Amino acid sequence: MSAAAPATYREAVREAIREALRRDDRVFLMGEDVGRYGGSYAVSAGLLEEFGEERVRDTPLSELTFVGAGIGAALAGMRPIVEVMTINFSLLALDQVVNTAAAMRHMSGGRLGVPLVIRMATGGGRQVAAQHSHSLEAWYAHVPGLRVLAPATIEDARGMLWPALADPDPVVIVEHAGLYNLRGELPPGPAPVDIASAAVRRPGRDVTLVAHGGTVAVAAEAAGRLAAEGVEAEVLDLRVLRPLDRPAILASARRTRRVVVVDEGWRTCGLSAEVAAHVAEEAFYELEAPVARVCGAEVPMPYAGHLERAAMPQADDVVAAVRGLVGGA
């Protein structure tokens, strides 16, 4: 691309893969239906025709096998991008990810790393029910040895892949499936972004809304509505779920003195618990109110649209949580 152009989040991810395939012959993409079908979410459409079967490989329905093959290829010097259809199905490969990829650096005394990128879709909102809709990224963020990224913008969807491939250790990228149709401007040329920092998406003085992935848009909508009531909410996009940018979280909490964590994942033992505990441990005496959490309902994701919506964090829920902190209605 020679100039900024309108694009979707899906197209931004595809462009990132295309750029990586062009830049490094060691890079290849593999996963279920990534070739002839163009990807379960149409992310890889056209890449098979452009790069051929050696670089864009369809795999059997066997997550344990093809994630393991990706680990082997990475150990042999390649730079695989492995696509797993949904984060639910990635559990079938959890042994390879946790016991092999994440542990290899430690178990080899630092001699071996696994430069593997695993992409997977997460999240609900599409009425595909419990086996295709959960937000389990906190499970990966729990594991030492992994870096876990959650791009929420088109810029990050395009820019995070190349630095992830350059990482000498495994990186998991979770893409909220509800973002694939998000539209924006794709800048010209490869534009890597950092994969270490959180980002303030909207500055504010009264409360911090901590979000990631699909909940960044929910937090932003809530912040817009709160502004009409005179409450200035800061929206902090975590971007990197492991290692968390803890200084950025604390800096925002200390600035606004109130924090609401918005997480589509389950509340119990989830990412929101980690963020809330960290703020309480390090900034308790600087807060005006306890940290609040708005999370997904602790149920398998329903199929029915109205029940699915009720199970996911909505802007109304965030606004109500903020009102509770600032003493409003």
Active site residues: 63, 132
* Nearest to 236, CA basis, from 286, 200, 274, 212: 200
C-beta atoms surrounding 329 within 10 Å: 6
Kindly report the three-state secondary structure assignment for every residue of 143-196: CCCCEEECCCCHHHHHHCHHHHHHCCCCEEEEEEHHHCCCEEEECCCCCCCCCC
Residue 300: DSSP 8-state: P
How many Å apart are CA 201 and CA 235, to the nearest integer? 5
Q: What share of the chain is helix, strand, coil (3-state, %, to 5)?
A: 40, 20, 40
* Nearest to 243, CA basis, from 144, 114, 173: 144
Number of H helices, E strands in the chain: 14, 14
How many Å apart are CA 156 and CA 151, to the nearest integer? 5
CA 216 from centre of chain: 11
**Type of residue found at 37:** Y
Residue 131: DSSP 8-state: T
Measured CA to CA in angstroms, residue 226 lies from 84, 221, 223, 230, 320 at distances of 38, 9, 5, 7, 10
How many Å apart are CA 270 and CA 267, to the nearest integer? 5
What does the block give as tokens for 266? 């389950």
